[in-house]
């Protein structure tokens, strides 16, 4: 029996307040309005940005349904939707793309003018939510909300992918893989033979290591305070792994010495002021490029020594790896299907939605790279 046009009752992981665990409850998901798409989620990875919302480091409206790294299948579409149809396998896009605005049309822009990423991504375009619990609205998150059996997306925030793609793997193309890999390739524009430093070896950082390797870097120095991450970093292309806690000197000084003046490219994939500063200082004065990939705390301010930039370094930020989401995601999925890169080493745990709190604990304890929830 078709569910189109009807409210669907389903399971979702709802977070009611800051720093509290998720609870699995039955919610109501309203049908998609015009230019919206309702999808059944098949798999969703857990990314640190979801945990930043739990901890308050990234401001979010509660109660909320988090999750921004998923794969689903279209259940029904609202009026005027032409980009997907029921039955299509899709990836939700936390960085939507209308394709019409100045940013979407600019060759280097990937942050659509029509859709924000902050609190405006917690509701649909008309300012309401499609999720309710016992009639009370629940906020969405990051234009996506994938920790639920069904979600509703704006049509600009969904793209069709190869029907044969395995959801429990390609969900990582919805955030972690694309963000790290693209930051190296598109934002830093790592060159063959260059020296790179990657700070933070989670799912996003290890994808940045893969991007540096694919771009032909000859030296990739991987940095983490958790040495358990080193074996995987080496497997994915790191040539050296170092732990800042093993040195008395600041890690930027260690890197400058190791590379006789600083690295060509540094990527900060943690989201802390201290490591952002270290990553900038560790790159070569004159021509070094440092890319901020980790999400710093919302509304925070940081201090840097202006001479770091004055002497020629470049400091850049990278959202979703600089990819234009609607165009790049299907292509990345097809590259994965053609075995141009692997996602298996990034996936350390697969869990049912009911075990979402366990998945977050594994991340906080540094025991997982990516946990993927399967539905």
Which amino acids are annotated catalytic? 47, 49, 52, 68, 175
CB-nearer residue toward Zn ion: 200 or 244: 200
Angstrom distance (rounded) from CA 326 to CA 75? 20
Decide if residue 101 touches Zn ion (CB under 5 A): yes
> Which single residue brings its beta carbon nearest to ligand CND?
202
Beta-carbon contacts of residue 103 (< 8 Å; ≥ 6 apart): 109, 110, 111, 112, 113
Cα 269 from Cα 202, distance rounded (Å): 8
Q: Of residues 15, 43, 47, 152, which one binds Zn ion by CB under 5 A?
A: 47
Q: In the window 147-176, what residues touch ligand CND (CB under 6 A)?
A: 175-176
Residue 101 binding target from ligand CND, Zn ion, none, CB below 5 to 8 Å by type? Zn ion
Tell whether residue 199 is a contact of ligand CND (CB under 6 A). yes
Nearest CB to ligand CND, comparing residues 150 and 320 = 320
- We find the least distance from the C-beta atom of residue 198 to ligand CND, in angstroms, to be 10
Angle at 208 between CA 205 and CA 210, to 5 degrees: 115
CA distance 86 to 190: 40
| Angle of CA points 125, 92, 169, to nearest 5° | 165
C-beta neighbour count of 100 within 10 angstroms: 12
Tokens standing for 346? 């990034």
Cα–Cα dist 355/363, whole Å? 13
- Give the one residue of 76, 179, 194, 290 binding ligand CND; rule: CB under 6 A: 179
Cα Rg of the chain (Å, integer): 20
CB of 141 to ligand CND, least distance (A): 12
Residue from 293, 328, 346, 353 that binds ligand CND (CB under 6 A)?
293
Residue 317 phi/psi, 5-degree rounding, is: -110, 160
* Residue of the chain from 31, 200, 262, 330 that contacts ligand CND (CB under 6 A): 200
The dihedral region occupied by 142, where left means phi > 0, alpha psi between -120 and 50, and beta the remainder, is left
Nearer to ligand CND, 190 or 363 (CB): 363
Map the footprint of ligand CND across residues 78-137, applying CB under 6 A: none
Residue 66 binds to Zn ion (criterion: CB under 5 A)? no
> In the chain, which ranges are E strands?
8-14, 23-29, 36-45, 70-77, 89-92, 131-133, 136-138, 150-154, 158-160, 195-199, 219-223, 240-242, 265-268, 289-292, 314-317, 347-352, 370-374
Min CB(113)–Zn ion separation in Å: 5
| 295 near ligand CND, rule: CB under 6 A | yes
Which range, of 102-110, 134-142, 231-239, 261-269, touches Zn ion by CB under 5 A?
102-110
Rule CB under 5 A: choose which of 83, 98, 337, 351 binds Zn ion: 98
The three-class DSSP label of residue 109 is coil
Cβ 144 vs Cβ 135: under 8 Å:
no
Of 12-20, 77-85, 122-130, 199-207: span binding ligand CND (CB under 6 A): 199-207
Chain residues that interact with ligand CND, rule: CB under 6 A: 47-49, 52, 175-176, 179, 199-205, 223-226, 229, 244, 269-272, 275, 293-295, 318-320, 363, 366
Chain residues that interact with Zn ion, rule: CB under 5 A: 47, 49, 98, 101, 104, 112, 114, 175
């Amino acid at each position: 029996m078709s569910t189109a046009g009807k409210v669907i009752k389903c399971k979702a992981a709802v977070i009611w307040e800051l720093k509290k665990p998720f609870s699995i409850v039955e919610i109501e998901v309203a049908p998609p309005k015009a230019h919206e798409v309702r999808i059944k989620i098949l798999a969703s990875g857990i990314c640190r940005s979801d945990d930043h919302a739990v901890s308050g480091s990234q401001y979010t409206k509660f109660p909320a349904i988090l999750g921004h790294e998923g794969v689903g299948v279209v259940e029904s579409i609202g009026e005027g939707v032409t980009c997907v149809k029921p039955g299509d396998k899709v990836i939700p896009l936390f960085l939507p793309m209308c394709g019409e605005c100045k940013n979407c049309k600019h060759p280097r822009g990937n942050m659509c003018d029509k859709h924000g990423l902050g609190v405006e991504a917690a509701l649909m375009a008309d300012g309401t939510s499609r999720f309710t619990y016992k009639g009370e609205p629940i906020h969405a998150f990051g234009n996506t909300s994938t920790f639920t059996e069904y979600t509703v997306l704006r049509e600009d925030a969904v793209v069709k992918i190869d029907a044969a793609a395995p959801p429990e793997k390609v969900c990582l193309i919805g955030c972690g893989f694309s963000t790290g890999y693209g930051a190296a390739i598109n934002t830093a524009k790592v060159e063959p033979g260059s020296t790179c430093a990657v700070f933070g070896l989670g799912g996003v950082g290890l994808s940045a290591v893969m991007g540096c390797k694919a771009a032909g870097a000859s030296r990739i120095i991987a940095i983490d305070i958790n040495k358990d991450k080193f074996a995987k970093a080496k497997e994915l292309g790191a040539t050296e792994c170092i732990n800042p806690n093993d040195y008395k000197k600041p890690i930027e000084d260690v890197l400058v010495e190791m590379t006789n003046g600083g690295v060509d490219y540094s990527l900060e994939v943690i989201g802390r002021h201290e490591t952002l500063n270290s990553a900038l200082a560790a790159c070569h004065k004159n021509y070094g490029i440092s890319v901020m990939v980790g999400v710093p705390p919302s509304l925070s301010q940081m201090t840097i020594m202006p001479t770091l930039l004055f002497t020629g370094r470049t400091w850049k930020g990278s959202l979703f790896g600089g990819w234009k989401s609607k165009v790049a995601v299907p292509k990345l999925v097809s590259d994965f299907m053609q075995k141009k890169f692997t996602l298996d080493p990034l996936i350390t745990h697969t869990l049912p939605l009911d075990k979402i709190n366990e998945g977050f604990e594994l991340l906080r304890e540094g025991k997982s790279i990516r946990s993927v929830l399967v539905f």
